[in-house]
Amino acid sequence: MNTILHLLSTFKYMKTQILAYLFLFVFCISSCQKEIKPFYYNTEEEFIANNEGLSDSARIGKLIFFDKSLSEPAGVSCASCHSPMSGFADPSNKAFSIGSTGDAGNRNANALNYMAFAPNRRAEIVRGIWEDVGGFFWDGKAEFLNQQALFPLITAHEMNNISFTNVSSKIKRAPYYPKLEKLFGKQALADSQTIVFYATMCLEAFQRSHQVNQFTSKFDSYLEGKVSLSEQEKRGMELFNDTLKAKCSLCHLSTPTEYASTNKILFTDYSYDNLGLPKNPLQKNLPIDSGLAKFEMNNPLEVGRFKTPTLRNIEKTAPYMHSGIFETLEEVMEFYNERDVNPKFAHPEVLSTMNTEDLGDLKLSKQEINDIIAFMKTLTDGYKPPISSKK
Ligand code: HEC
Ligand code: HEC
């Protein structure tokens, strides 16, 4: 891993690349400001075929995202583990996704929708205390989003390339390579590092696009005044926002996240917490997962803390949590509600940093749990508001 981090930092400081980054950033900001129509699709093929409103770099990024020739051996693309049909999480609903060699890793594939709005990893005041926020992966090990894509390309249990030279020769052979050349110029793509660099830039542009972050849920239509929530969904929303009762919105913010790169509601503050989850029995022979601590010099205060994910499209991204330990939202709710009183949750993987204030014995009734789940299901994209405007 150290070699990778070294490579990443070499990448980070190359001058031309920083300039390109700025270029792309401005590019993205200007295309993000355009009014974009809601985007609905029923199958992955439909999703792939529709490029409406995508910038040139995002279009190339999308081709790279679905390119199965980039793994070693060929056969696995980013979309194999991050499908649009499942909020860009693993469509096989496996706790641990299978990479191109047939091996699996030890974390659940993140849902990629809405994660691109996270700030680069840094400290912010969260609930009154300076905390790490943002960054990418469950433990924040990638500081920037364009760094992130380098990891799966060369991780053995994901796409398994032995080097970036390997990756770049595959990109050179891909049908979209001429488009990459046209966009950035032959000169810019002089060596294997820059080729991979521009490819990750394009991946980033796609992941930041409206196709990955649609804001087309019933909740969004409700905010726009196009539909009302049912009585149950409203009760669920009130409980969700009640910081003394269910307390969800303490971390899954139901107001815009100040330091995120959008002013829309994301249902996360991108902070790191240890919920006191038990170890996934599938991992019983593995050492504990130290989470954020791995990249914070093994700081004991960071052990077992993981990034708070968005809850948008949560209905589609099972299984849940960094270890994929829960298969249903009912199980997630049972855990938040009963962690401290139900013997099956008696053994957290990491006790020392466990959050003992905001969850564990919420005393929610069955009805209240169902109400909160009903509310979470209003966060699924692809909702078509009734044409006869306000109800
Ligand atoms: C074999 C499955 C697999 C493949 C292929 C794969 N990923 Fe992932 N991805 C994962 C897993 C598992 C995680 C969580 C890993 C962790 O946190 O340690 C993850 C995490 C991420 C994250 C972090 C999201 C967040 O919320 O911080 C991003 C972004 C991402 N992947 C993008 C990509 C891109 C881009 C590609 C293709 C170049 C790709 N992935 C290929 C399994 C995969
Ligand atoms: C103290 C902050 C905090 C509070 C309060 C909180 N969550 Fe979470 N939530 C997290 C973190 C952190 C994770 C990821 C934990 C992990 O994987 O180790 C998470 C994960 C989840 C997941 C799984 C997401 C996924 O993609 O796998 C769901 C669903 C969820 N929370 C719903 C809720 C609901 C509903 C409530 C209120 C009853 C709630 N949360 C309260 C911080 C919080």
Q: Is the pLDDT of residue 156 over 90?
A: yes
CATH number of the domain at 9, please: 1.10.760.10
- What is the four-CA torsion angle of 118, 121, 122, 123, rounded to 10 degrees? 70
- 201 and 222 housed in the same domain: no
DSSP state string for 366-389: HHHHHHHHHHHGGG-S-----SS-
**Cβ of residue 140 lying under 6 Å from some atom of ligand 1:** no
Taking residues 42-71, report their average pLDDT.
97
What separation in Å is there between the alpha carbon of 284 and the centre of ligand 2? 22
- Provide the domain limits for residue 281: 218-379
Asked if residue 354 is part of any domain, the answer here is yes
- 301 and 329 housed in the same domain: yes
Write the CA distances from 103 to 106, 155, 319, 337, integer angstroms: 10, 11, 19, 35
**Single residue among 207, 229, 256 that ends a domain in this structure:** 207
What's the mean per-residue pLDDT of the chain?
90
**Single residue among 207, 238, 262 that ends a domain in this structure:** 207
Task: Tell me how crowded residue 175 is: count the other CB atoms within 10 A of its CB.
Answer: 9
- 28 and 166 housed in the same domain: yes
Q: Beta strands 122-126 and 129-133: pairing type? A: antiparallel
Task: Tell me how crowded residue 13 is: count the other CB atoms within 10 A of its CB.
Answer: 8
Q: Which atom of ligand 2 is nearest to the CA of 273?
A: 12
Q: Is the pLDDT of residue 318 over 50?
A: yes
- 302 and 180 housed in the same domain: no
Looking at this protein, which amino acid is placed at residue 208? R
Asked if residue 388 is part of any domain, the answer here is no
Residue 387 pLDDT class (50, 70, 90 cuts): confident
In the chain, the number of structural domains is 2
- 222 and 109 housed in the same domain: no
Asked if residue 163 is part of any domain, the answer here is yes
**Cβ of residue 64 lying under 6 Å from some atom of ligand 1:** no
- 176 and 303 housed in the same domain: no
- 185, 199 contact by CB (below 8 A): no
- 74 and 186 housed in the same domain: yes
Give the mutation target among 113, 275, 292, 334 for probing the ligand 2 site: most ligand atoms within 8 A of CB.
Answer: 275
pLDDT digits (tens, 9 = 90+) for 108-130: 999 999 999 999 999 999 989 99
- 181 and 281 housed in the same domain: no
User: Can you give the pLDDT at residue 132?
Assistant: 92
Element (H, E) at 27: helix 15-32
**Cβ of residue 373 lying under 6 Å from some atom of ligand 1:** no
What is this structure's pTM?
0.92
The tokens of 66 are what?
Answer: 């679905």
- 154 and 235 housed in the same domain: no
Asked if residue 131 is part of any domain, the answer here is no
- 203 and 223 housed in the same domain: no
- 88, 96 contact by CB (below 8 A): no
**Cβ of residue 336 lying under 6 Å from some atom of ligand 2:** yes
Q: Which of 113, 148, 378, 123 is nearest to 262 (CA)?
A: 113
What separation in Å is there between the alpha carbon of 90 and the centre of ligand 1? 9
Task: Tell me how crowded residue 354 is: count the other CB atoms within 10 A of its CB.
Answer: 20
Residue 354 pLDDT class (50, 70, 90 cuts): very high
- 256 and 172 housed in the same domain: no
Runs of H (alpha helix) within 208-340: 218-223, 231-241, 329-338
